[in-house]
Amino acid sequence: MNPLHRIDQWMRAHPVRTDVLVSVLLFGVLGLTPWVMLGSLAGPTPGSIVASILIALALIAPWAFRRVRPVASAAAVAAAAVAHLVLGPEFSLALVLVPMTVYNLAANAPRWASFTGLVAALLGGVANGIRVGLFPDPVMRPDGVYEPVDPSLEALLVMVFGCAAVVLTAWAFGDVVRHRRLTVRALEDRNRRLETMALQERRLAASDERNHIAREMHDIVAHSLQVIISQADGARYAAAAKPELAVATLDTIGLTGRAALADMRQLLGVLRETGETVAGVPGVALDDGAPGPAAGAADEGAAGAGASGAGTNPGAGRTRLPADVASRDGRGARQPPGHRPQPTLADVPALIETMRLSGLEVSLLETGAPRRPLPPGGELAAYRIVQEALTNTLRHGGPQASAFLTLAWTGRGLDVQADDDGRGADADPGTRGSGHGLRGVAERVALFGGTVETGPRAGAGYRVSAHLPYSAV
């Protein structure tokens, strides 16, 4: 490493020690050397020489603590300068500490101390000019005799303006250093605040993403598994009496399971992209020539638009789905990787049909017409509200429960209301959930500035009511 760089690092790490060493060096150069070099020319008496050295020491010593106590250091220098003005010689190299102290006040002291030091130094320059110009010390002739000097206005003006120029220059440099330090400190504080804000934003984003994943996982798992459980129970009872009904029920179970699996793969693919995707499902290849059974059941996470029958290719080790899985209309149009169509209100009838196949009687009433579109994702939120309400009825309402769904377009937005005549608040504790679904519904609705109300109905049953406002124009 460069020796100068090491010295600079040591000085930055030990500022007080550096100032002490500088003070010792300044005293040796400015306080002692001139008197040693001048010898008998230094002053009329040895006492005056000693007094000048002591005054020089008083001027230089406060520099040792000028960073830790800038105001106290300046006060000590001011007192020593007054003593020099009264008792010392006209000229002394140690007086250079006055502009140095003005610089230090401007750079490191409070603002009031900076201006006070500037004014005091200017007044000191005027006083010193008066002394030098109007009350000059006698000068020694070659024969050793001291001769008085006549007062000089020119000497007064030169001293006053010279001292003022030096003091103002020192104060200006110190003020520049002060502003630069404050600017750097402000930038450092701003960077720290930005880093803190970025960390908070990352934490909030991670929390929001966790909530989003939890909602999607609940929508996929809770709905699909409830449909599968209901169909499996029905198939077990129908196997003996109506084998053909059991086969149809098993087909519905297979379709629902495959749709849920595709949605799970899509959700995991968002978290970790691995290879080419088709219809947003990682690891799924499109088989345009493999026909499958028509989709009669709506997959809960993919809008309930339907999933086709699927087979596996043992050689490739990848699931193959027919082309209609890759598009909402079933025409085989490929969707961009990672973007499978999300469910909308148009998929609600398919969802209701799936619920009816699972044994839940559902009636649908639609009134009004939309005046403006819902916000982006608003129809997905409405679909999830319907899905959650019907799934809860199927799970908690009891075997004889039925649901009544109303979609009403008003002047303010879409009102979604799902009522059932099931057990309501008296649901079986064995089937009671953790409330994640309704909490997810409330979070979805809140994102669009809507409202949601849930609770038991008067008499019997349960109600889920939500309002989604139109998008702002």
Reported as a single tens digit per residue, the pLDDT across 419-457 is 998 876 565 555 555 567 788 888 888 888 889 999 888
Position 432 scores a pLDDT of 55
Mean pLDDT across 59-83: 93
Confidence of residue 207 (pLDDT cuts 50, 70, 90): confident
Tell me the residue length of the chain.
Answer: 473
Residue 98 has pLDDT above 90, yes or no: yes
Mean pLDDT across 388-415: 88
Out of 8-17, 216-225, 254-263, give the one with best mean pLDDT: 8-17
- DSSP assignments along 224-259, one per residue: HHHHHHHHHHHHHHHHHH-HHHHHHHHHHHHHHHHH
Interval 229-261: pLDDT, tens: 776 766 666 666 777 767 777 777 777 777 777
pTM over 0.75: no
Position 251 scores a pLDDT of 76
**Is residue 333 within 8 Å of residue 292, measured between CB atoms?**
no
Single out the residue of 262, 255, 243 nearest to residue 294, CA to CA: 255
Confidence of residue 160 (pLDDT cuts 50, 70, 90): very high
Q: How many whole angstroms separate alpha carbon 338 and alpha carbon 279?
A: 7
**Residue 22 vs residue 248, higher pLDDT:** 22
Q: How many whole angstroms separate alpha carbon 348 and alpha carbon 407?
A: 10
Residue 174 has pLDDT above 90, yes or no: yes
Scan for tokens 């020796």, then name that residue. Answer: 3
Confidence of residue 161 (pLDDT cuts 50, 70, 90): very high
Confidence of residue 359 (pLDDT cuts 50, 70, 90): confident
Mean pLDDT across 386-398: 85
Q: Where are the alpha helices (DSSP H) in 336-404?
A: 348-357, 378-396
For residue 33, the Cα-to-chain-centroid distance in whole angstroms is 60
Q: Which residues touch 358 (CB under 8 Å, ≥6 apart)?
A: 226, 227, 230, 231, 234, 252, 394
Mean pLDDT across 273-287: 40
User: How is residue 246 written in tokens?
Assistant: 């059991």
Single out the residue of 328, 278, 324, 322 nearest to residue 305, CA to CA: 328
Residue 323 has pLDDT above 80, yes or no: no
Q: How many CA atoms lie less than 13 Å away from 90 in the CB half-sphere?
A: 15
Q: Give CA torsion, residues 139, 141, 142, 144, to 10 deg.
A: -90
Q: How many whole angstroms separate alpha carbon 424 and alpha carbon 461?
A: 4
User: How is residue 362 written in tokens?
Assistant: 């559902």
Mean pLDDT across 133-145: 74
**Residue 222 vs residue 452, higher pLDDT:** 452
Q: How many whole angstroms separate alpha carbon 386 and alpha carbon 444?
A: 13
Identify how many contiguous H helices and E strands the chain contains and give both numbers: 12, 12
Q: Which residues touch 243 (CB under 8 Å, ≥6 apart)?
A: none
Q: What percent of the chain has pLDDT over 90?
A: 30
Residue 91 has pLDDT above 90, yes or no: no
Position 358 scores a pLDDT of 78
Scan for tokens 């409405």, then name that residue. Answer: 382
Q: Which residues touch 255 (CB under 8 Å, ≥6 apart)?
A: 293, 295, 296, 297, 299, 306, 307, 308, 309
Confidence of residue 373 (pLDDT cuts 50, 70, 90): confident
**Residue 142 vs residue 85, higher pLDDT:** 85
Q: How many whole angstroms separate alpha carbon 352 and alpha carbon 407?
A: 13
Mean pLDDT across 309-324: 35
Position 283 scores a pLDDT of 39
Collapse the DSSP code of 463 into the 3-class scheme (helix H, G, I; strand E, B; otherwise coil) and give the result: strand
Position 430 scores a pLDDT of 53
Between vectors from CA 356 to CA 351 and to CA 360, what angle results, nearest 5°?
110
User: Taking the alpha carbons of 234, 235, 237, 240 in that order, is the dihedral positive or negative?
Assistant: positive
Q: How many whole angstroms separate alpha carbon 361 and alpha carbon 353?
A: 9
Q: Of 116-120, 132-136, 183-187, 210-214, which gets the smallest average pLDDT?
A: 210-214
Residue 12 has pLDDT above 60, yes or no: yes
Residue 31 has pLDDT above 60, yes or no: yes
Residue 169 has pLDDT above 70, yes or no: yes
Position 237 scores a pLDDT of 67
Q: Which residues touch 96 (CB under 8 Å, ≥6 apart)?
A: 30
Q: Of 192-201, 320-329, 365-374, which gets the smallest average pLDDT?
A: 320-329
Position 427 scores a pLDDT of 54
Helix, strand and coil percent figures for the chain, each rounded to 5? 60, 10, 30
For residue 413, the cross-strand partners are 469
Mean pLDDT across 305-333: 35
Confidence of residue 82 (pLDDT cuts 50, 70, 90): very high
Mean pLDDT over each residue of the chain, to the nearest integer: 76
- DSSP assigned state of 423: -
Mean pLDDT across 19-42: 79
